[in-house]
Amino acid sequence: MNAINPPKCTDLDYINFLIASSRIFSCTEASRCSYIDSNSPAHDSFTRLLLSQPSDTEALWGEVKYLVTPENGFLIIDDTVLDKPYSKRMNLVYRQWSGKHHQLVNGINLETVVWTNNDAIIPVDFRIYDIDSDGKTKNDHFLDMLNKAEERGFRPEFVLFDTWYSSIKNLKEIRKKGWHWLTRLKKNRLVNPDKTGNVAIELLTISPEGITVHLKEYGFIKVFRIVSKDGDTQYWATDVLDMQEEKRKELGKKAWKIEEYHRGIKQFCGVERCQARRNNVQRVHIMMAIRAFLRFEIQRIKTGITWFETKWSITRNAVNEFLRNPIYTLI
C-alpha cells in the first residue's frame, strides 16, 4: 500500500456497493453512490481497486473458513452461466449452453463449491471457465476444487453434483479421498444389472428403493429412478449401496441449495452486471459478488430475514429518507 497516496476505496467498499445497489453495478455508479465531497473515490479509484486485487479465491476462503465445519456437512458442486448477451470482445465470454434459456448463449461459466449443513449455504471455492487461457475443462476445475477442499481439511459426508461431472475419473477421485457421492446420470448411461452385459439405465426395471448395478471401470453403484408429477424422469446414483430412497430424497434437497445460491448471486449481488472487458476486473467483480452473497446469507442465518427482504430494506430506508426530506418540488 502506498502510504503517501493510500487508496480511496477498499474491497469492502465495493462489496457494500454490490449489496446496496439494485440495478447498475459499475465503477462509475459505485463512485456516484460513494460521493461525499471532493475527496471521495472517483470511478477510476474503483477500477484500480478491481485491477489490483488478486483474482484467485483466497480472499473468499479467508472469510468463510471461520463459518464452516470442514469435518462434516456436505459439498455441492455445480456451474452456472452468467449471461453476457451484448458482449463484444469481452474476456472470459464463451458461446455455451444455458439451462435457463435452453439454448446456446454468450456468457461466463462460473463453477462453485458450496458447503452446507442442514441450513447454511456457504460458497467456499469457485473457478471460471477459460479454456483458451488455462487449457482446463470444467471437469479439470471440478477435480482442482475437490483437491483444494481436501487440502483445506474438508471431510464431507457426501459430495453432491450433477450429470456433467459424473465421469468415471471424477467418481474414482472422490472414492480415493474416502468420500461418498450422489449424482444424477443421463438416461443412456450404460450399466450392467445382472452380469449379462451393459444396457442403458432407462431400459432397467427399477423399484422405488433403487437397484444395485455395475458401472464399468468403477464398480457397483446404486441407481434410483425418480418420476416427477409432470412426467420428467431423472436417474440418481450413489456409491452407498444400502442407501434408501428417503435418504436419497433428503440429499437431493440439499443438492438444490446450489441453485438457490445461483439465484442469490444473480438477483441480489449483480454478479452478471459487470460490463468490463478485462479478465482480471471480471474475475474480481465475480469474487466480490460472491463475498456480497456471503453477507446476505450470514444475515439470513443470524436473523431469519430473507435475502430479498435484506436487499429491499436498503431501498426502503432510502425511500423513507426521501419522503421525510423530498428534494424535488414545484417551487
CA distance 89 to 71: 43
Q: Give residue 5's pLDDT.
A: 66
In this model, does residue 109 exceed pLDDT 80? yes
Report the C-alpha gap between 254 and 96 in whole angstroms.
Answer: 27
Using alpha carbons, select from 80, 84, 75, 129 the residue that is nearest to residue 283. Answer: 129
**CA 38 – CA 62 distance, rounded (Å):** 33
pLDDT band at 1 (very low <50, low <70, confident <90, very high): very low
Query: Across residues 187-214, what is the average pLDDT?
Result: 93
Predicted structure pTM score: 0.92
Q: What is the mean pLDDT of the chain?
A: 91
In the predicted structure, residue 9 carries a pLDDT above the cut 60: yes
- At residue 15, what are phi and psi to the nearest 5 degrees? -60, -45
In which band, very low, low, confident or very high, does the pLDDT at 4 lie, cut at 50, 70 and 90?
low
Q: Could you report the per-residue pLDDT of 202-245, keeping only the tens digit for each?
A: 999 999 999 999 999 999 999 999 998 888 999 999 999 999 99
Which contiguous run of DSSP H or E holds residue 97? strand 94-98
Position 89 pLDDT exceeds 90? no
Burial 70-81 (b: 16+ CB within 10 A, else e): beebbbbbbbbb
